[in-house]
Structure 1
Amino acid sequence: MSGVDQEWMCGPYRCLFTDKRKYYSHSDLGALLFYGSSVKLYDFPLPKRDLKWAIYHEESPKNLPFFLYKSGQDLFDIIATVNRYSNFPLTLQYLADISLLTGIFKIFYSVEDKSELDIAPVLYLQSGCETPTQRDLYVEELMKYIPIDSYGSCLNNRELPENLKLNGTYDVYDEKLLKFVARYKFVIAIENSVCVDYITEKLWRPLIAGSIPIYLGSPSVTDWLPNEKSAILIEDFDNMTDLSKYLHTLDEDNKLYNEYLQHKLGGENGTITNKFLIENMSKRKTSIADFECFVCSAIHEQKDLKKDTVNLYVCPKPEDHFNVDNTWKQHWDIGKCQNKVLNDIISNISSNNYTEDMFDKLVLQNLLKDEC
């Protein structure tokens, strides 16, 4: 096949990859690969040929709402999402190596050292302020009961040092940033969305740095923590007052505090007791290149990977918190209508002649009529 962008061996199989649409009708084409964050809902190649559709989507529902619904997922034959039951799971995409959890490197501060620093016990470092979890509301409420140093764009009360800024954002695992985080006893770790197995650097970064995450996000997070006591879960407390009391208790008791750091302090090389985490890290593959090889191999081996009975993107509709209406609920409603319209178009259209304007009008009509 001429004009191919990439060619490599995936195990015993020779795999060719191209982004050139002129090959859509080529007899050797085995699959179409979609990157979730770049999917254009008005631009699916139609009519749908008898070949595999595969999608790689490592993000939350913020940028692909139609995919929240199983009939949207069912448009694809091979799926990579954060969910552990995906054909190609991306749950551990933000933890490159398990040794990061146990290693102390040059960044670790003991609890005694942290207590000597003239900083708040809690760190909040966030640039995305409008989220389905309404995380700023949690932090704003918690601030009433315990000091929090807030850097970044959200609830800012401290300036981030210039050497930690990277094109307006943060270098996730930069050693300077990790050392900055490591000074704090606690780090707010609230995901932008609540989805099963959606766990990002917000959890792993404080664990790597040797701070205790104050976590809200994946309801399955305890399945992935290094030890039974590794993070403080916001959902375990009735309100921010109770959470703050517990944080104050740990802040004043070094022994209790260190119980959360056994992945750093247990034995010579730290202790991880979670066998499920260890097992999954041993076979972790999460890159797009790995996914491309996975798809190519599956086609060569004629594997049927479709999971007809499993929802691979479990993200409940957002709730209102602290008596503030959560406008992100509309995002889920729009996604439901996008899903309906997209399925109707793919099922009924004989050629790729629908436009973005046509698609958006159909979504709006269904939304206004509450027909999704």
Structure 2
Amino acid sequence: MRLWRKRQLMILTVCFLWLWSVALIYWYVVNREKDDIRDGVPLLLWWTNDVTWPYNELRRCGARTCHVTNNHKKLQEARGILFYGSNLKTFDYPLPRRRAHQWGLLHEESPRNVPFVPYTEFLQHFNYTSTFSRHSNLPLTTQYLPYASDLSSMDFFRSFEDKQVLQFNDQIGSVVFLQTDCNTMSGREDYVQELMQYIQVDSYGGCLHNRDLPAKLQNDYLNNLYSDELLRFLSPYKFMIAIENGVCEDYITEKYWRPLIAGIIPIYFGSPSIRDWEPHLNSAVYVADFANASALAAHLHFLDENATAYDTYRSHKLNRANPIANSMLLQHLLTRRYHTEPQKAELSLFHKFECLMCEYASFTPQSQSANEKHYSCPLPPAYAPLQQRKKPKYASDWRSMMNVGRCQAQLLDKFLRANRSFTSADFQKELKRMVQQELCD
């Protein structure tokens, strides 16, 4: 009996030791995989402060894997340094830059908040980019169009006759404007104000406000730009103002796609290359085709009373056999690697940008530089045509801001080439001298 108990104890001891060894090995493998890049897993470092909490992820990108962190103490180990454009500073860069460091820039916005980005002097210091430009390494041109099928969906479609009835019964205009920002590089607010002299424009946002949104839409419509409630509310209108806040090649936001989804004709001004991306020829009324708001309003009045002419702009809804005739747009939508739905985190812009940099950091030496095609914005800033060739109210302010941006880009180029760390005080002192001596023109 004692011998049997000893054997039981021995078996239990062996089993315990075996389980402990397995647990120890598992813990070692998992933690080594997450926290140690000495096994050859490249390290990517987010330099800009995009999240306030410690970020430490193992990003799996097909056959490749990278360790992604925002711990600046890992700088010397990093292969890729990642920057988010909206959080760029004029003084915060990982210097001195090592030869192995590949810099990547993710920036989906116009230059209104970061005026030094469009200039080659600054862009050339990045090896790879993900911007709205088709020429970037991960183009975001259609980021504001969730699905190709949204263009042909009839969920919010109203016939011309229905719109006529609703327009009469609800006492609404034919044109809707929904914007809060009333100080834009494109002079949007100035143009709409002129248009209001010639046609009724119902303005529900904070800019040029003359009508109130329904109570359920007032609180948070800016964060629900494609909600069923909002699209259904907008759908009775025949036209919607779709003027971007800034003019850049391929910079196309929800202002263009949302009315198309809702079966409304956009009145568009923004990307000079917009016709490369429209679903069909004449998918929108383009502000640039008219000398001024008066001429555009005359065309809108014609379409407002002519069902056949109006519906020629809605082929993406009415041509069921071929809703998207633009092969380039269709190809882009079918092959893009990211998604805009927040619940699909693994397909988010940030995750796909990390995978882009993971691919290059794994195998590619520092061999290329971005240029102005990666972020192409006309300078000085372009704006919608006003009567008597007037300039928008804030045109001089925006032009001055972009001139300072040019100065900032030239100064950043100087500091980054020197490859020595510098402070905000260093930068501001030299920038002041350059501006005072007019060295940036």
Bin of the TM-score, shorter chain as denominator length: over 0.9
Residue 144 (structure 2) pairs with residue 94 (structure 1): yes
Aligned residues: CA RMSD: 1.7
Paired position in structure 1 for 2:282: 229
Aligned to 1:40, which of 70, 89, 96? 89
Aligned AA (2:355): C
Equivalent-residue separation in structure 1 for 2:256 and 2:367 (angstroms) = 30
Aligned AA (2:88): V
> Which stretches in structure 2 are left out of the alignment for 5+ residues?
1-34, 37-53, 339-348
The Cα shift of 1:284 comes to: 1.3
Residue 238 (structure 2) pairs with residue 176 (structure 1): no
Aligned AA (1:275): S
Aligned AA (1:355): T
Residue 72 (structure 2) pairs with residue 21 (structure 1): yes
TM-score (norm 1): 0.94
Paired position in structure 1 for 2:424: 356
Paired position in structure 1 for 2:323: 271
Residue 73 (structure 2) pairs with residue 10 (structure 1): no
Equivalent pair of 1:36/1:64 in contact (CA under 8 Å): yes
The Cα shift of 1:166 comes to: 4.1
Aligned AA (2:332): N
Aligned to 2:159, which of 103, 110, 118? 110
Equivalent-residue separation in structure 2 for 1:305 and 1:10 (angstroms) = 22
The Cα shift of 1:247 comes to: 0.3
SS in 2 for 1:63: coil
Aligned to 1:342, which of 397, 412, 417? 412
The Cα shift of 1:167 comes to: 4.1
Equivalent-residue separation in structure 2 for 1:368 and 1:259 (angstroms) = 55
Aligned AA (2:276): D
Paired position in structure 2 for 1:139: 192
- Deviation per CA, 1:173-193: give whole Å up to 9, x if none: 111111112111000000001
Paired position in structure 1 for 2:118: 68
Paired position in structure 2 for 1:313: 375
Equivalent pair of 1:164/1:170 in contact (CA under 8 Å): no
- Deviation per CA, 1:314-368: give whole Å up to 9, x if none: 1111257542351200121011011111111112253x2x222332232222122
Equivalent pair of 1:165/1:171 in contact (CA under 8 Å): no
Paired position in structure 2 for 1:194: 247
CA distance 1:55–1:152, shift in 2 (3 Å): same
> Which stretches in structure 1 are left out of the alignment for 5+ residues?
none
Paired position in structure 2 for 1:281: 333
Equivalent-residue separation in structure 1 for 2:403 and 2:294 (angstroms) = 33
Paired position in structure 1 for 2:132: 82
Aligned to 2:104, which of 43, 46, 54? 54
Equivalent pair of 1:187/1:211 in contact (CA under 8 Å): yes
Paired position in structure 1 for 2:28: none
- Deviation per CA, 1:15-53: give whole Å up to 9, x if none: 110000010012xx2100000001112111111112100
Paired position in structure 1 for 2:306: 253
CA distance 1:155–1:343, shift in 2 (3 Å): same
Equivalent-residue separation in structure 2 for 1:361 and 1:192 (angstroms) = 31
The Cα shift of 1:311 comes to: 2.5
Equivalent-residue separation in structure 2 for 1:308 and 1:154 (angstroms) = 36
Equivalent-residue separation in structure 1 for 2:366 and 2:430 (angstroms) = 33
Equivalent-residue separation in structure 2 for 1:16 and 1:166 (angstroms) = 39
The Cα shift of 1:154 comes to: 0.5
TM-score (norm 2): 0.80
Equivalent pair of 2:280/2:315 in contact (CA under 8 Å): yes
Equivalent pair of 1:77/1:305 in contact (CA under 8 Å): yes
Larger radius of gyration: 2
Equivalent pair of 1:333/1:367 in contact (CA under 8 Å): no
CA distance 1:65–1:304, shift in 2 (3 Å): same
Identity %: 40
Equivalent-residue separation in structure 1 for 2:372 and 2:118 (angstroms) = 12
Aligned to 1:242, which of 271, 295, 310? 295
| Number of residue equivalences | 366
Equivalent pair of 1:87/1:305 in contact (CA under 8 Å): no
Equivalent pair of 1:83/1:90 in contact (CA under 8 Å): yes
The Cα shift of 1:170 comes to: 4.7
Q: Structure 1 or 2: larger helix share?
A: 2
